[in-house]
Amino acid sequence: MKILAANRLTDGETVWLGAGDRWVETIDAAHVARDKEAEERLSAAGDAALAANLVLDVTLVDIDLSDGRVLPSRLRERIRAGGPSIHPDLGKQARNAAQHAA
């Protein structure tokens, strides 16, 4: 299974392609491609977004679903989805923690 990751042009924020071809800021909202055809659709949407100068560094990322949640296979992509492992107070993980606490 794969999802499509990129960085947003304006601020570099890591984003994933979500439902309705919208770029979302949390990996949980990423659209999961379960077959080749769906992957190709993701790639095409990524190419279009690159050409439209919305994002850069568009890449397909291997994932598993664990308890229904998206879990990238590579540590690199897991860190990208959360933030620096040394700074739980920074990046997306901090925002998620704040939301959970709220």
Partner 1 sequence: MYRYDEFDHAFVKARVAEFGDQVARRLSGTLTEDEFKPLRLMNGVYLQLHAYMLRIAIPYGSLSPRQLRKLAHIARTYDKGYGHFTTRQNLQFHWPKLTDVPKILEELAEVEMHCIQTSGNCIRNVTADHFAGAAADEVADPRPYAEILRQWSSLHPEFSYLPRKFKIAVTGAERDRAAIEVHDIGLHLKKNDKGELGFAVYVGGGLGRTPMVAKKIRDFLPEQDLLSYTTAILRVYNLNGRRDNKYKARIKILVHETGTEELTAAVEAEYAALKDSELRLPDADIRAIETYFKPPRLAARPEGDRAVATAGKTNPGFADWLGRNATTHRNPDYACVTISLKGIGEVPGDASDAQMDAIADLAEQYGNDEIRVSHEQNLILPHVARADLPALHAALVEIGLATANAGLITDIIACPGLDYCALANARSIPVAQEISQRFASQARQAEIGDLQVKISGCINACGHHHVGHIGILGVEKKGAELYQITLGGSAREGSTIGEIIGRGFGPEEITDAVETIVETYLAHRQGREETFLDAYRRLGQAPFKEALYGHEARAA
Contact set with partner 1 (CB under 8 A): 7, 9-14, 50-53, 56-57, 73-76, 79-80, 83-87, 90-92
Residue number, 38 or 96, with CB nearest to partner 1: 96
Residue number, 69 or 74, with CB nearest to partner 1: 74
The full DSSP string for the chain is -EEEEEEETTT--EEEEBGGG-EESSGGGBPPB-SHHHHHHHHHHHHHHHHTTSEEEEEEEEEEEETTEEEESSHHHHHHHH--TT-TTSSHHHHHHHHHH-
Residue number, 29 or 38, with CB nearest to partner 1: 29
CB of 80 to partner 1, least distance (A): 5
